[in-house]
Chain A
Amino acid sequence: MSPMHKIARTFQRPLHLLGDWAMGWFHHIGGLGLLTWQVLVYLLPWKWNFDGPETWRTMYRVGVKSFPIVVVTAVLVGAIMVIQSGLYIEQYGAHGLLGWGAGYAILRSVGPILIGLMFSGRVGANNTAELGTMKVTDQIDALRALSIDPVAYLVMPRFMAMIVMMFLLVVVGNATALIGGALTSQFLLDVNMVLFFQSVVTYVLLEDLMHGLMKSVAFGFAIAIISCYFGLQTSGGAVGVGRAVNASVVGSAIALFAIDYAITYAAL
């Protein structure tokens, strides 16, 4: 190989990798778009297509089993928010603002995003692994061979369950985070619990709550589509399943922050 050739190769290589990487991204974005489209079509009343028993099974698995971990996380989040702001509250003696500070942040952003991340790590990853294993062991093809549409049978129930459960988990998470915050303010900062809640009720608007709940629905949507997509496109055995779960969790996290940013920005 001539020296010129070598130099050319050295420069080509990063370009090559960049190209591959970009192609990979476009491939996934196209696939995600396609799956979203299919799911939306099946939501139309006259195309309505999803499986009852599978939906209940998924609801239970997705939601009920996630409650404990969400409650624990939320209590801690509430506590942390209060301890953090407590520093300044003490300094300025603005005890009446403690509930507002913590409540505003929790309801609008911190609650949904943290619960969303937990949800994607627990439910999304689990879902990708399950669908991925089904794919590499030909169970998806077996469904098709039985004339059962994998999107209708597997994706729709998960989609519904994840959106509903993400919403409910954020509602519960918000409540427990506020309780955690209130307890912390009472016992750690000596700010009366009643004052804390009064502050929440007085200053935090219904709109703040709605804003966070809207995010929770969008997060559920994104996690459902992303985790199903990466599961269904798995290939290459156990290694492939690992790769798919990885992509699903990372992809969901990126999507959550992007959506959070977009909704927050749009609401300004």
Chain B
Amino acid sequence: MGHIEFRDIYKSFGPKHVLRGVSLNVDPGEVFFIIGQSGAGKSVLVKHLIGLLRPDSGRVLLDGVDVTDFKEKEFYPIRKRCAMVFQNSTLFDSMTLVDNVALPIRKHRDVTVKEAREMAVDKLRLVGMHTYAERFPADFGDGMRKKVAIARALTLDPEFVIFDEPTTGIDPISAAMVDKLIRHLSDNIGVTSIVISHDLRSIFGIADRIAMLYQGKLLLDGTQEDYKNSDNPIIQQFIQGQPEGPMEV
């Protein structure tokens, strides 16, 4: 349980070829990082997993089940098992924070509205946002919204979680807290996580395995050690954050 496979995924938007044959395997319970330049197609790739985007060719497998040709309706049960934290948080701004988090509980669990809200406050406590439960998303900056989005994604106790840049725009303390949470989900609950990140501290802090996308293809799939020891100049440039080098921008 908890295995994810991308098999030779191609995806273009009009003339723009974003993914050009990406294959990845994520093992159960792993914290799997995807890194790469802005525009490399990281967000596009992970959206294929829950059917928000469909590949031009290639296959997506979840626990060995080929979900590539699933209809929108058939994806709904999968999305309950596989949660996603979007890059820009995507809280519903017509609702308070607690209603945001309570929404999936209210829709998918057989509980009263009151119980759903209590459960939501518990989830908010997990990310330290419970004191702001009755405020609206517009009152907060990126960092705090992202924390609430993480709480919302965890409400249905998913087996897989996709975190799209969970620590971008967050202060270092909260970022460390988020990293710890991701590690905890994997180590103690067996959640499989895919984390998209530019944050070198997270990458070299909690990653079990790292995949780097470059020009629509997989450049390297390996452990932290593999990356540190890699003699590929592009990888070295990226993980050291050098402004100049062989990488094409």
Contacts and interface: CB of A to CB of B under 8 A. Distances in A.
A145 B77 CA distance: 10
Chain A interface size band reads 10 to 19
Interface string A134-164: 1001110111111111000100000000000
Given A53-B113, A141-B52, A148 B103 contact: yes
Contacts of B113: 53
A228 B76 CA distance: 22
A142 B90 contact: yes
Interface in B24-49: 47
Contacts of A149: 76
Contacts of A57: 94
A143 B79 CA distance: 10
Contact of A142 (B86, B107, B108): B86
A144 B52 contact: yes
B86 A145 contact: yes
A144 B79 contact: yes
Interface string A104-141: 00000000000000000000000000100010011101
A220 B75 CA distance: 32
B77 A147 contact: yes
A interface SS class: helix
Contact of A147 (B79, B88, B90, B92): B79
B88 A145 contact: no
A139 B92 contact: yes
Interface string B145-165: 000000010001000000000
Given A53-B113, A138-B86, A139-B92, A147 B80 contact: yes
A39 to B, nearest CB: 16
B62 to A, nearest CB: 15
A146 B107 contact: yes
A142 B75 CA distance: 14
Interface of B: 47, 50, 52, 72, 75-77, 79-80, 83-84, 86, 88, 90-94, 103-104, 107-108, 113, 152, 156
